[in-house]
């Protein structure tokens, strides 16, 4: 018998605690928090990243 596989979904460019909570409520397996990078959208500060990560359930990567 094959093991049952389930999809794992990562939601990227989370920019607030409210967005993180919404993603978790809807089944996200992981959150993407974008820090310093040469270009692109969705960059947030390290302090905000730390705050969101600390408030995220341990089961969410």
Instruction: Give the pLDDT confidence of 7-51 residue by residue, as tens digits.
Output: 899 999 999 999 999 999 999 999 999 998 877 777 899 999 999
Q: What is the pLDDT of residue 30?
A: 96
Contact 49, 17 (CB under 8 A): no
pLDDT at residue 2 tops 90:
no
pTM comes to: 0.81
β-pair partners for 11: 31
> Where do the domains of the chain lie?
10-55
CA distances from 38 to 15, 24, 43 (A): 18, 28, 10
Confidence of residue 3 (pLDDT cuts 50, 70, 90): confident
């Amino acid at each position: 018998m094959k093991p049952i596989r389930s999809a794992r979904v990562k939601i990227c460019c989370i920019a607030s605690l409210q967005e993180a909570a919404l993603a978790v409520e809807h089944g996200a397996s992981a959150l993407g928090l974008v820090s310093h990078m040469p270009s692109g959208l969705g960059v947030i500060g390290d302090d905000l990243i730390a705050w969101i990560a600390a408030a995220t359930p341990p089961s969410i990567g």
